[in-house]
Structure 1
């Protein structure tokens, strides 16, 4: 019995040794397989220097160069409305007509008064010439001559007053035709034909000039300096026409306006309440795309470009510490680099610190790698194996 137990124990020991050997062999095989696994392929792009025009965005509002409320200057029935609501009109286009008959009659009466005054004045001139001759010959007294002279001067004054009345009557008659003082677009008419209108009745309609047009906006002087040569210009140079930045607009629908504008006004002081300075840009607005009251994005772009280091936006990641990229060093190993970013430039970011020109950053395959692992770097634009 004893010999049988020993035999069974020996068999069990041998089996254990065999199993252990097989497990070790399997582990070695897995390690060899892992060691022989190829490095993951990632797409990289080199940090490069480009000519970058610094720019900054601000909120602006479109304002008409000329914006008026058309008000009747004389009272009367609105006889005709000569343009449709919303129509674009030229300067001196006839917009409204107020009944003319009362003012034509007033003018005729004023002219009649003028004729009467001139006839009376002619009579007084004859009287004066007669009395002057008699006075010089001693046939009338000085008092009589002076009375005739005063009467003639009064007649002269009446003539001048009658002329003024005629002029006023002519003006009143001309006011019955309401014309456009400048080219623009008329708004909704507030009265109908037949309504009584006058100076106290309110606006007949609104007329705005659409071309050219203003865009007003405000920004801190520091922001303005940043938008122009990175702050290299003084406020005096900024106000110089040659140094003013290019002005673009982005419409509320996200579309960039095709035409560019120019800054035509910079306020002479910073508002102490807001810490901002007011500016105004002018656009020709030939297609009437800009409408007064619209809020737009004003894009200021420096007149001259600067050499900046840029990388694709796809390379940038962020954590609690800030922005970083995964770079590939000369040993084809991944490194984490925290970077200080500047402005966004098209599809790139300007890098102010953290990278050198030519260093490679991963732009595709970021999810497959981590710092400290080897990679197979493929230049962007080439197929990844």
Structure 2
């Protein structure tokens, strides 16, 4: 028993003694691994590659900065010829409207020979007036003229015979003078009769309603059978030469900028057509109620230009040379309008500006830019003064 116990007790002691070295080796292994890892990290940190540590640091710094610097689109606007436009509205009308009424005694209208929209010549008959009575009067005066001429011819013959007999002593000089006076009276009666006939014929011609000038008939206010006289008012309205105009209503300030001869683009309401005209008159007075004046724009005839219609106008009040920017480039705050420009260090700088005309082409910059700057056209709202950026030049449209 003791031997067995000694045998088993010796085995247990050997097993325990063998486990002790194993337990002691694990901390050594772990420690060795930690040391190796630390050495590897130190090797990497100190540049353990083909590139020097300084170059890798610069590359890392560069890559980190590029990831944070924004890219913005810039443009160099230069200077452009910009037309200063003034917008306004107004009505269309005949440039020289001619009202046509009854110039003579009037009477009953027999025929109307024209319609609105028809072109007529100077002196052309527009309407005929009944002249049956006037015709008889003219015929009677023609007969009186013939009678007066016959009397004058007879008086002249008697005077010629008297002159031949006075030298022979058959007729006294007193008789010769009486015959001369009779002849002169007969000739005077001829002239009176002829003048009366001419007056009647002139009156008869005035019975017809005629066009005073060549032009376009705009309205007609008479029909056959109507009795007209000098008090009947306007029977026809005409546009002299067919010339039209637009009467543009403008504010007092805008009217000061308009000059005679300025080019105007006119677009009637409801039409896509645009007509080119010129300012031919600027109103010398301002309406006291509306504080507006009228600029009259001459237009050539076109069927789309109907007097009384409404239209819009763009008047070119002058041409200036200035930088032109898209509206996206112009910013504004409580300090006013401004843009961001990129300096030589690729840093954003705030530049105060004064804007001018705004059109489809862009915003004219009256002051603040020379046109040679690199101006941020997009993303300007997200920049701050002094911020570093990567500028990308905008390509010009072909």
TM-score by length of 1: 0.68
Instruction: Name whichever of 361-370 and 69-78 sits farther off.
Output: 361-370
- CA-CA distance at 1:115 after TM superposition: 1.1
Work out which of the residue numbers 44, 51, 54 in structure 1 matches 2:74.
44
Q: 2:366 matched to 1:335?
A: no
Work out which of the residue numbers 307, 321, 333 in structure 2 matches 1:291.
307
SS in 1 for 2:79: strand
- CA-CA distance at 1:153 after TM superposition: 1.5
In structure 1, the partner of 2:229 is 198
Deviations 1:230-267 (A, max 9, x none): xxxxxxxxxxxxxx855123335498975544566789
Q: How far apart in 2 are the matches of 1:300 and 1:36?
A: 48
Distance 1:308-1:180 versus aligned 2 partners, 3 A rule:
same
Q: 2:193 matched to 1:131?
A: no
Q: Which sections of structure 2, spanning at least 5 residues, go unmatched?
A: 1-63
In structure 2, the partner of 1:247 is 263
Aligned partners of 1:88 and 1:183 also within 8 Å: no
Give aligned pairs, total.
329
Q: How far apart in 2 are the matches of 1:259 and 1:377?
A: 44
Structure scoring higher RCO (CA < 8 A, sep ≥ 6) equals 1
SS in 2 for 1:364: coil
Aligned partners of 2:269 and 2:311 also within 8 Å: no
- CA-CA distance at 1:109 after TM superposition: 1.5
- CA-CA distance at 1:149 after TM superposition: 1.8
Q: 2:119 matched to 1:89?
A: yes
Q: How far apart in 2 are the matches of 1:138 and 1:64?
A: 79
Work out which of the residue numbers 341, 352, 370 in structure 2 matches 1:356.
370
SS in 2 for 1:77: strand
Q: How does 1:1-385 map to 2 (within 5 A)?
A: 38-53=68-83, 64-72=94-102, 73-84=104-115, 86-91=116-121, 92-209=123-240, 211-214=242-245, 246-251=262-267, 253=269, 258-262=274-278, 282-287=298-303, 289=305, 291=307, 297=313, 299-300=315-316, 302=318, 307-344=321-358, 346-380=360-394
Aligned partners of 2:268 and 2:309 also within 8 Å: no
- CA-CA distance at 1:63 after TM superposition: 5.2
Q: How far apart in 1 are the matches of 2:352 and 2:365?
A: 10
Distance 1:287-1:187 versus aligned 2 partners, 3 A rule:
closer
Q: How far apart in 1 are the matches of 2:171 and 2:308?
A: 76
SS in 2 for 1:251: strand
Instruction: Name whichever of 369-378 and 142-151 sits farther off.
Output: 369-378
Deviations 1:145-189 (A, max 9, x none): 222222221211221122122222222332333233334332343
Across the aligned residues of Structure 1 and Structure 2, the Cα RMSD in angstroms comes to 4.2
Distance 1:254-1:196 versus aligned 2 partners, 3 A rule:
closer
Distance 1:256-1:210 versus aligned 2 partners, 3 A rule:
farther
Q: Which sections of structure 1, spanning at least 5 residues, go unmatched?
A: 1-33, 229-243
Distance 1:257-1:290 versus aligned 2 partners, 3 A rule:
farther
Q: How far apart in 2 are the matches of 1:256 and 1:117?
A: 70
Aligned partners of 2:357 and 2:364 also within 8 Å: yes
Q: How far apart in 1 are the matches of 2:224 and 2:314?
A: 43
SS in 2 for 1:181: coil
Instruction: Name whichever of 59-68 and 324-333 sits farther off.
Output: 59-68
Distance 1:351-1:367 versus aligned 2 partners, 3 A rule:
closer
Aligned partners of 2:138 and 2:200 also within 8 Å: yes
- CA-CA distance at 1:361 after TM superposition: 2.7
Aligned partners of 1:54 and 1:343 also within 8 Å: yes
Q: How far apart in 2 are the matches of 1:131 and 1:216?
A: 77
